Amino acid sequence: MARKLSTLFFSMAQRMARDQQRVLRRATKTAVAASGRTLARTVKNTTDPLIRKAFKTGAGLAKPSAPGRRAAPDAPIPGAGSWLAHIHKGSTAIGQWHGRLAYHLYIPSSAPTKGPHGMPLVVMLHGCQQTAADFARGTRMNRLADKEGFVIAWPQQSANAQSQRCWRWFRPQHGHGGSEADAIASLAGALVAKLRLDADRVYIAGLSAGAGMAALAALRHPDIFAAVGLHSGAVMGDAYDAAAGMAAMRRGSRRDVLGQARSLLATRVAFTGMPAIIVHGGRDHVVDVRNARQLVEQFRDLNGIDATQPPVVSALAAGTDRAWQREDLRAGRRTMVRLAYVPSLGHAWSGGDPAVRFHDAAGPNAGLLFWRFFEANTRTAVDPEVV
């Protein structure tokens, strides 16, 4: 029954996204034909019921980001390093499907011939209707790993666990999303031990459902992950079933968001904070941008930053298709929470390969934003003002 509800939930989300894209295309054509009239007046006067409904409900009338298409299954994976498929066999206590976790491992071309010993690890979690290979092609993170020198693990959700390959962030209980988070953390720990990677520089990031799972894994395993990156993700802790997940995506949470986030924390280890970078598009009509603002407040609280402290705001690349706004919350001189708001971006990876579905060339390079934030944060980092 739960699996049927989950499948129905994401089928509805997919239909909603398609309808919104159709509405936006119609609205744009109508606006062009208006010859100088304002967009608002154009919508008011149009007889197209879909456009009028969109304006009334706030679905948005700006031109959407290019949705892209699914890359061919045999399209090459970007990067000059080693890309190999593996199965991680975790504890049977993790759950039926999550005791075996499929993943690809990318060893960068910049790794020494003796192995990637001492290198950082980044875990990358794909979104719904994606595979690990799709996500690697769209984000082109492997090329960045070649340049910067880090290893990437690309876990892949099982279609047996969720038919759309969505990580089940919306069911964080053990045996469901909680077990998926535990399996991913188990994989990260095993790779650190096997490859002798730097245990203080292990990071996790994801897109959409992958962002929700990255957040859950980071909060459950602060002893493994040093920082987290969330792209187009939903508020934490509001959903415990598929219907609530859908509601959170559409409008954020209407409850105590700080308490919701704290309810996800692990009890077996001390939680001393979790640096987080959040990237979200202003034209995202699948996961509303209110979610990003609530994530900022959740991580502000989790990192012990006073609620009255204003963010440090910067506008970057103004006047270009990569324009974005950065908002930093700092503890001393260390940035603990960063929001990258990209006004022109829809529900897609910023600065990605537009030929791959759910990735857009517009906006800053999200992979580079994540990595620059990650490399400034380690599990042993000390505030320079406290030394």
DSSP code string of 100-166: EEEEEEEE-TTS-TT--TT--EEEEE--TT--HHHHHHHH-HHHHHHHHT-EEEEEE--TTT-TT--
Q: Which residues pair with 87 in a beta bridge?
A: 102
Do 89 and 20 share a structural domain? no
Does 124 share its domain with 273?
yes
- Claim to verify: residue 183 and residue 44 sit in the same structural domain: no
Number of structural domains, the chain?
Answer: 2
In this structure, is residue 245 part of a structural domain?
Answer: yes
Asked whether residue 66 is domain-assigned, the answer is no
Tell whether 71 is covered by a domain.
Answer: no
Last residue within a domain, chosen from 41, 57, 73: 57
Query: Phi/psi zone of residue 230: left (φ > 0), alpha (ψ -120 to 50 degrees), beta?
Result: beta
pLDDT tens string, the chain, 387 residues long: the values are 445 545 555 555 555 545 544 544 443 343 333 333 333 443 344 443 433 433 333 333 233 344 455 555 668 899 999 999 999 987 655 555 556 899 999 999 999 999 999 999 999 999 999 999 999 999 999 999 999 999 999 999 999 888 899 999 999 988 889 999 999 999 999 999 999 999 999 999 999 999 999 999 999 999 999 999 999 999 999 998 989 999 999 999 999 999 999 999 988 888 999 999 999 999 999 999 999 999 999 999 999 999 999 999 999 999 998 999 999 999 998 999 999 999 999 999 999 999 999 999 999 999 999 999 999 999 875 444 432
Give the span between the Cα atoms of 231 and 211, in whole angstroms.
6
R_g of the chain, CA atoms, integer Å: 20
Q: Based on the domain organization, do 277 and 359 belong to the same domain? A: yes
Q: 132 and 138 in contact (C-beta within 8 Å)?
A: no
Does residue 224 form part of some domain?
A: yes
> Is 75 within a domain?
no
pLDDT recorded at residue 163: 87
* Domain span including residue 50: 2-57
Q: How many CB atoms lie within 10 A of CB 217?
A: 30
CATH code, domain carrying 269: 3.40.50.1820
> Does residue 50 sit in the same domain as residue 96?
no
In this structure, are 32 and 124 located in the same domain? Answer: no
The span from the first CA to the last CA of the chain, in angstroms, equals: 55
Quick one: the chain helix, strand, coil %, rounded to 5? 35, 20, 45
Q: Which residues are CB-contacts of 151 (< 8 A; sequence separation ≥ 6)?
A: 105, 106, 107, 108, 111, 116, 119, 120, 121, 122, 145, 191, 195, 197
Are 249 and 371 in a shared domain?
Answer: yes
In a domain, residue 192? The reply is yes
pLDDT of amino acid 317: 95
Cβ atoms within 10 A of the Cβ of 22, count?
A: 13
- Pick left, alpha or beta for residue 115 (phi over 0 → left; psi -120 to 50 → alpha; otherwise beta): left
Distance CA 61, CA 49 (A): 14
Q: Are residues 344 and 289 both part of a single domain? A: yes
Residues near 317 by beta carbon (within 8 Å), at least 6 away in sequence: 323, 324, 364
End residue of a domain, out of 57, 73, 104: 57
Which of 57, 73, 92 corresponds to the end of one domain? 57
Cα four-point dihedral sign 234, 240, 245, 248: negative
Same domain as 47, residue 98: no
> For position 187, what pLDDT does the model report?
96
d(CA 338, CA 279): 8
Element (H, E) at 373: helix 366-375
Does residue 118 sit within a domain? yes
Question: Are 6 and 88 found together in one domain?
Answer: no
18 and 118 in one domain? no
Same domain, 187 and 317: yes
Q: Please report whether residue 194 resides in a domain.
A: yes
